């Protein structure tokens, strides 16, 4: 008999989610407005300390809205940590902006503040910076924000993978002028598809809502003077989000337990894990691991033979064919991470036997 599939980061649902969706249906609010959507946004704000929250269709749409609201236009340079998912580059290219890719901090894996500052000492000031919290690992965000404040540069946080992560006891996503969250099916909580735009200024949510709902003018008919987008989250999916938020602390604890089970079982294997600093709280969305001496593609094949889904680290943006024509600063750290890293399964429904199966593959390499 073939072994059951272990997925990388499957969504976890229970009766609380079914009840929450049922409540949304019973309310009659199925379209992209309604009480569940309002409550979901309010709950995110109160639970994580976000100033203004707008539920949208994806993390990518939240990034795109951030870029639009920041006034980033064709030809504007924007600094981006190279070690991240393609959505950041795509959202910039929607607006024909010019990304410049900054290498990672060797210890932190996110954008290096030192390379950021060095870039500013030698080049014209960029319009904005997009700092990612890769895999949920908090970037050195207070240092990045301090540099942005010093040079009057807009800071956007890509916190798509980082709900629940903190830096200096403050939720990531609350440092930048704008930030993006994702609730895709594989994230720490899910609304099936969906995301949220976070913003700090008074009135920014109203402006974001206008742009996210086709930019309808104040008139008694459909009049449009500027481009808008159909980016609003559905009330029905927000209902699912409420069910997910109701067990968020339990999900976070399960992620923590799975991560530390890996560390304990693989302590003498040579597999290396990210080391948190006292300033950080990492949500352990998934467990990223460094495996020296075996190429990640070969590791992937071993896991596939055992019906286990793992994933290579993100290919750095400066190595992506789509982004080849844009400048990059450094890149060796991110490239090395890509060539040595594997993301291990971290679904909260994993059993002790599942963890053993994953570890047995690694111990056999």
167-183 per-position pLDDT tens digit = 999 999 999 999 999 99
For the chain, the domains span 15-245, 248-363
Q: Are 131 and 99 in contact (CB under 8 A)?
A: no
Q: Kindly state the DSSP code that residue 137 receives in the 8-state scheme.
A: P
Q: Kindly state the DSSP code that residue 136 receives in the 8-state scheme.
A: G
Band of residue 159 on the pLDDT scale cut at 50, 70, 90: very high
DSSP track, 6-39: B-SS-----HHHHHHHHHHHHHT--SS-SHHHHH
The pLDDT assigned to 3 comes to: 87
Q: Are 5 and 307 in contact (CB under 8 A)?
A: yes
Asked if the model's pLDDT at residue 165 lies above 70, the reply is yes
Q: Where are the alpha helices (DSSP H) in 172-295?
A: 204-212, 235-245, 248-265
Rounded to whole angstroms, the Cα distance separating 244 from 251 reads 9
The pLDDT assigned to 42 comes to: 97
The pLDDT assigned to 30 comes to: 84
Which residues lie closer than 8 Å to 282 by C-beta, 6 or more apart?
136, 137, 138, 165, 274, 276
Asked if the model's pLDDT at residue 217 lies above 90, the reply is no
Backbone angles phi, psi at 81, to 5 degrees: -65, 130
Query: According to CATH, what is the number of the domain 248-363?
Result: 3.90.1150.10
pLDDT in tens, 247-257: 999 999 999 99
Asked if the model's pLDDT at residue 2 lies above 80, the reply is no
Strand order in the sheet with 287-290: 272-273, 287-290, 341-344, 311-312
Band of residue 357 on the pLDDT scale cut at 50, 70, 90: very high
Across 14-20, average pLDDT: 92
pLDDT in tens, 128-154: 999 999 999 999 999 999 999 999 999
Q: Which two tokens stand for residue 329?
A: 């600063």
Q: Kindly state the DSSP code that residue 276 receives in the 8-state scheme.
A: -
Asked if the model's pLDDT at residue 341 lies above 70, the reply is yes
Asked if the model's pLDDT at residue 1 lies above 60, the reply is no
Band of residue 296 on the pLDDT scale cut at 50, 70, 90: very high
Band of residue 78 on the pLDDT scale cut at 50, 70, 90: very high
Pick the CATH number of 15-245 from 3.40.640.10, 3.40.50.1820, 3.20.20.70, 1.20.120.50: 3.40.640.10
3-state secondary structure of 159: coil
Question: What does pLDDT average to over the chain?
Answer: 95
Q: Which two tokens stand for residue 322?
A: 């789509």
| pTM recorded for the entire structure | 0.96
Across 231-246, average pLDDT: 96
Across 175-201, average pLDDT: 96
């Amino acid at each position: 008999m073939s072994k059951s599939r272990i997925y990388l980061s499957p969504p976890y649902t229970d009766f609380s989610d079914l009840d929450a969706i049922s409540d949304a249906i019973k309310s009659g609010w199925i379209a992209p407005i309604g009480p569940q959507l309002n409550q979901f946004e309010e709950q995110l704000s109160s639970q994580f300390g976000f100033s203004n929250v707008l539920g949208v269709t994806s993390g990518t749409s939240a990034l795109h809205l951030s870029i639009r609201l920041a006034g980033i236009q064709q030809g504007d340079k924007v600094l981006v940590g190279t070690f991240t998912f393609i959505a950041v580059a795509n959202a910039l290219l929607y607006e024909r902006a010019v990304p410049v890719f900054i290498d990672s901090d060797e210890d932190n894996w996110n954008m290096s503040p030192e390379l950021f500052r060095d870039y500013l000492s030698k080049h014209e000031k960029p319009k904005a910076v997009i700092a990612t919290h890769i895999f949920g690992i908090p970037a050195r965000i207070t240092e990045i924000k301090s540099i942005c404040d010093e040079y009057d540069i807009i800071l956007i946080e890509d916190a798509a993978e980082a709900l629940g992560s903190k830096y200096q006891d403050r939720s990531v996503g609350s440092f930048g002028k704008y930030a993006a969250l994702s609730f895709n099916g594989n994230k720490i909580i899910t609304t099936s598809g969906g995301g949220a735009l976070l913003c700090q200024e008074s009135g920014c949510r109203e402006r974001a809502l206008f742009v996210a709902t086709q930019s309808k003018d104040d008139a008694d008919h459909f009049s449009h003077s500027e481009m808008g987008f159909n980016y609003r989250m559905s009330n029905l999916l927000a209902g699912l989000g409420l069910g997910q938020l109701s067990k968020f602390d339990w999900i976070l604890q399960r992620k923590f337990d799975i991560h530390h089970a890996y560390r304990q079982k693989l302590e003498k294997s040579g597999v290396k894990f990210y080391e948190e600093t006292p300033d950080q709280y990492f949500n352990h969305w998934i467990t990223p691991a460094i495996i020296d001496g075996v190429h990640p593609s070969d590791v992937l094949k071993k896991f596939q033979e055992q019906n286990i889904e793992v994933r290579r680290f993100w290919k750095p943006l400066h190595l992506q064919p789509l982004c080849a024509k844009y400048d990059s600063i450094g890149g060796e750290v991110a490239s090395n991470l890509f060539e040595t890293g594997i993301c291990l399964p971290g679904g909260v429904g994993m059993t002790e036997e599942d963890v053993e199966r994953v570890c047995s593959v690694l111990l056999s390499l």
